[in-house]
Chains A and B, each alone.
Chain A
Amino acid sequence: MQTRVVAALAAMVATFGGVGVPAQQTAAAARAPDPTFEKWCSHCHRSGIYMAGTLGLQRKYNGSKPALLEERDDLTVASVKVFVRHGSNSMPPFRKTEISDAELDALASYLAKQ
């Protein structure tokens, strides 16, 4: 088992240089933002130095795909729904009292450009 000290070093030592995704004008920014994305996804999936989702995807794809969900062009309605309702790694799933089925439909079509 691996044990870490949460936040200890994050708080005190600058270990994050270069890890963050620089904020930049993205294609997605031009569209009207989806309210569900803003309310529920943006806290981890925007650009920024402490964005868990973005950092996780950056680590996962290592440049082969955009780390920002709104820049992805390979997402499908079905895959968005699976991630939202089932989660992935430390991303937990979201309940229907949080994101209703209708909201999920809108979110999925917002993110899935295909």
Chain B
Amino acid sequence: MILPPGVHREAFSAALQAFANVVGDQWVFSRDEDIALYNDAYTPFFGEPDKQHVASAAVAPTEVEQVQQIVRIANKYRIPLYTISTGRNLGYGGSSPNYSGSVVLDLKRMNRIIEVNTDEGYMIVEPGVSFIDVQRYFDEHQIDYVPSSPQPGWGSPIGNGLDHGVGNAYGDNFSAVAGLEVVLANGEVLRTGRGALPDSRLWACYHYGFGPYIDGMFSQSNFGVVTKGCFWLKPRWEVSQSFTISSYSDNDMQPMIDALKELRNHEVINGFGIGSPIRQSMATNDGRRPYGVPEVNTLLRRRDGGSSAEWEALAQKTQIPVVEGGGGARGPAPIVKAHLDYAVDFLQRRKVPGTVVMGKPLTTIKPPMIDFGELALSGTSHGHYYFSPIFRQTRDDIFAINDTMRNVMLDAGDFEMIEETGWWASRGFAGGGAGRDKHMLLLMEFRVYDDLDKNRRRRQLFLDLVKACGEKGWGEYRAPVAFHDQVMDQFSFNHHILRRFCETIYDALDPNGILSPGKNGVWPRHLRKA
């Protein structure tokens, strides 16, 4: 067991005893084997003797009042806390704190579904409620709404929403947040938006409230401990259906993107993706099974990444398209049909080259589940973490970011990483509201291996990518805890004014610096680098 830096053993023991007085002895974890459960299961530092991002203890309350008391105790003894909801943010740090020695404030036991309202379509939940819990509740009560889950669904709507996560019903899940209850660093409980009006029937209906709209301040942040969240819900859709369009000419990518983008901006399709199947055909990470030919890796290992002519020849030879895009629609069957008929006709009118293949209409919606199917295929890695930059919806940006990333890997001599990741294109946010996806997102998986030296090189590679992409103006939408500082470093406009602004607010709200120090690169005054 380690201690929070600067805290004496006696003070720490006294604090743990005080926590135990609040939540009961069995819900304060301080034995090594229990604390180990709060390590990042997919830590990039696997197996290394010098432990990073480790907790000193954990405490698991069930009530808001207990959270308030814990925060007050932490202030008294200057104990840094690190808040997790379900602690399943795997790939982005899991349950592990930014600041080693923090006590994990585990909210998993706060797992009540406070209200589900089918008149207006919202729910109010606590942080320990997972998407799977929500689905089960919906099933038991025959509620025809969709919890907007990512997969796997053991994460929580609150944790996922606050980390700007993505789900199937809304795409941008934070956009469906309509009000929060927050315990502040001083132990006071705050309700945002209409929740500030006692007995308001509008807490979950109307997000803004009156005056400054502050919900966003509590996302990717350490300004408070969120103890309740209001979420808008989408009714279950009758049918979803998607199509693909593929071609054997690199030049077709731009018209394809232009057309799909326009269809998306017009809300004809609810999301779109674009890729280069031949270039991606040998990638092995993220559970993909290689299905291409060895020449793919030969081309990808070259500085120039292969010419269009070479790729097109390879595509012809293997009959794997060089460009593929797709989109979809959901809703009542006749409306979906009208949308997709229009989309296909539009592609023809625009003379977008390529073969369109219409998928089958699906009447089922995949429920949230603990589904690691694809990960099992990736061999015996010890987990993974994600590099997830966002970039513009243009062919030039797609190729430029791929060239940049590939050259960083080549500079590092990491041919294996090139072969694992291949070539990336986009998954746009799907299913969002109006035009929510004016960007593309890629998720590059970094695997964790038995080879500790390789893991070290990979961490350096991650940082090199953050920096190289940052210089070109591509930033991450979310990052593993181990890299928060470096990612925030890239957001440097006017001498890092955004971070300094956040620090000013942090200092005012949390003068003792006890809430999640270092989260997303925001540190309390006494831990800030000069």
Decide if A and B touch, CB cutoff 8 A.
no
